[in-house]
Structure 1
Amino acid sequence: MKHLKLLIIYLLLFILQTGLAQDSLSSYKKEIFVSKLDSMPYRILFPPHFSAEKSYPLVVFLHGAGERGNDNEKQLIHGSSLFTSPEALANYPSIVLFPQCPSDDYWAKVKIDRNDAKKTFDFLYTKPPTRSMNNLIQLIDKLLDGNYINKDQVYVMGLSMGAMGVYEILYRKPNTFAAGIAICGGGNTHFAKNFAKQTPLWIFHGSRDDVVDPKYSVRMVEAILEAGAYPKFTLFEDANHNSWDPAFAQKEILPWLFSKTRKP
């Protein structure tokens, strides 16, 4: 009987957690951005009691390669619940954007060599942006046209492929973002000087990452330091590629992000 009661309690907790997760996802409104020649699905969260007469921070979250597609669902797997907790909604009312990259594209312009034991990445910022990056820039510009966005509190976050997109969009849209968070990614360190002093960064990586070598984050940190800025860097000793889990568990991640305002 005791075991049966425990089983019932576990089942009830599972049902409750599942329901809360579904409520979290449903808080993000489904939309599709349509440009002249293309389109991109995205989800967007508005704060409670949203008013177009007020202005709110904008957070852009870029998912990883595993969440690509066109279902307008998978991009919410990681990170979406960070902004729907009662604490986040009460303390950091903001507009949160989760665009979705198609399966055949990438946020960043990068050449990937899969012949080595580990993937190697060559970041090609001097080339035209990918179709998805181009759509993303247009979507952000469209949102920034609205008076309800606080232009001094625009943030960008991303994990893995999305973190690569973070570094690239900081290069392609200078003087736009007040801060950025890049988790288990990498970028073209030659261009770090273009955004290093303008945009504070918190960089995360797992020391055991066997998908994106942590050296890519280390090199970016070194390049930013060389450019005269001081990024936050957290290297999780026991984490593999899913270093977003311990990153999202950091109690200071949202206070740090929302404390930043765009530099003049």
Structure 2
Amino acid sequence: MQSHHKHLILLLLSILFMDTGRLLAQDKSLFEKRVFVNQKGDSLLYRILYPEHYDPGKKYPLVLFLHGAGERGNDNEKQLTHGADLFLTPENRAQFPAIVVFPQCPMDKYWIDISIRKELFGNGDPDFSQSVEKPSEQLDLVNQLTEKLIKEAPIDKKRCYVMGLSMGGFGTFETLGRWPKKYAAAIAICGGGNLSLVPKYAHHTSLWITHGGLDDIVPPELSKRVFDKLKAEGADVKYNLYPEANHNAWDPTFAEPDLLPWLFSKHK
């Protein structure tokens, strides 16, 4: 009899965990699947989350999230691996209603120019010593998408935010450098940036930069260099180095209780 009860409990627990897994999967589906196509016919996959009690008569903040290199592809799903859950909790949806966008970079592309990427992850000096005249094709597509959304959706242009991790952390700094007056605040996780672009956005955007002290993929020094340059420019910036974190600095970053309150408090 006791054995029967144990089996029954195990069965109930397995059903519970299966249901929980389904619920989590259903949560991700709240991010609607979309495809942006520009006038040239270039396309960009993206997911978009609208506020729970969406009212087209109201204005909402826009959050752009740039994923890392590991989430590239053409499934329009992998880009939600890190960060999406942050915006799906009932508490955050209630407290911070926003339009949240997760574009997906194709497998063979990058948010930053490929020559910069080689410089960063090769043996060269990773301080963007070479200047690149224009943003990457993919980042330009992302900007075109956000411009379309700002024009057509009820978005508060004074409360546009960008955040990203790893390759998306680089993309975050690059976005600010290319369109310096667009974003009120940014969160850059385990990335790095073109120091020559910093003066362009230093006085326009509040920044929170984070990195793992044990990061063996992207050296923490790359974030620190941008932070130091921003401080020298008199920017509104803060920097968190998580001593025990490796490249997964997004985990302690997303656990910061003040992360979203800080982000959504910023405006132009």
Per the normalisation by structure 2, the TM-score is 0.91
Residue 108 of structure 1 aligns with an amino acid whose one-letter code is I
Change (3 A) 1:187 1:148: same
Tell me what 1:158 maps to.
164
The CA distance in 1 between the partners of 2:236 and 2:59, in whole Å, is 29
Distance in 2, matches of 1:3 and 1:217, equals 52
Of 12, 17, 36, the residue aligned with 2:20 is 17
The answer on 1:260 being equivalent to 2:263 is: no
Matched letter for residue 233 of structure 1: Y
Letter in 2 for 1:219: R
How far 1:230 moved relative to its partner? 3.7
Q: In structure 2, what is the equivalent of residue 64 of structure 1?
A: 68
Contact 2:127 2:195 in 1 (8 A): no
Q: What is the CA-CA distance between 1:52 and the residue it aligns to?
A: 1.7
- Kindly indicate whether the alpha-carbon contact (under 8 Å) linking 2:63 and 2:101 is maintained by their aligned counterparts in 1: yes
The equivalent residue for 1:138 is 144
Per-residue deviation, 1:20: 2.6
2:97 is aligned with 1:86: no
Q: Distance in 2 between matches of 1:10 and 1:241?
A: 34
Which one-letter code corresponds to 2:64 in the other structure? V
Aligned mates of 2:220, 2:209 — CA distance in 1: 11
Which of 180, 186, 207 pairs up with 1:180?
186
- Normalised by the length of structure 1, the TM-score is 0.92
Q: 1:213 to 1:83 in 2, by over 3 A?
A: same
Counterpart check, 1:54 vs 2:55: no
- 54-63 vs 2-11, greater mean Cα deviation: 2-11
Match of 2:48 among 44, 48, 51: 44
Q: Which runs of 5+ in 2 are unaligned?
A: none
Do 2:127 and 2:194's aligned partners in 1 also have CA atoms closer than 8 Å?
no
Paired position in structure 1 for 2:206 = 200
Deviation at 1:51, TM superposition (A): 2.0
| Aligned residue identity for 1:75 | Q
Change (3 A) 1:216 1:3: farther
User: Is the contact made by 2:109 and 2:138 (CA closer than 8 Å) also made in structure 1?
Assistant: yes
**C-alpha distance in 2 between matches for 1:16 and 1:246:** 27
Partner of 1:228: 234
Return closer, same or farther for 1:214/1:13 CA change in 2, 3 Å cut-off. Answer: farther
The answer to whether the 8 A contact 2:126-2:222 is kept is: no
Aligned counterparts of 1:100 and 1:133: Cα–Cα separation in 2: 11
- For residues 190 and 125 of structure 2, the distance between their equivalents in structure 1, rounded to whole angstroms, comes to 13
Q: Does 1:106 align with 2:110?
A: yes
CA distance in 2, matches of 1:22, 1:191: 39
Aligned residues: 261
Check 1:135–1:157 CA distance in 2 against 1; reply closer, same or farther (3 A cut).
same
Q: Percent identity?
A: 46
CA displacement at 1:258 relative to structure 2: 0.3
Residue 217 of structure 2 is aligned to residue 214 of structure 1: no
1:220 Cα deviation from its structure 2 partner? 0.6
3-state SS of paired residue (2:91) = helix
For the aligned residue pairs, the C-alpha RMSD in angstroms reads 2.0
Choose the corresponding residue for 2:31, options 28, 32, 41: 28
- Looking at CA atoms only, which structure, 1 or 2, has the larger radius of gyration? 2
Is the contact made by 1:108 and 1:123 (CA closer than 8 Å) also made in structure 2?
Answer: no
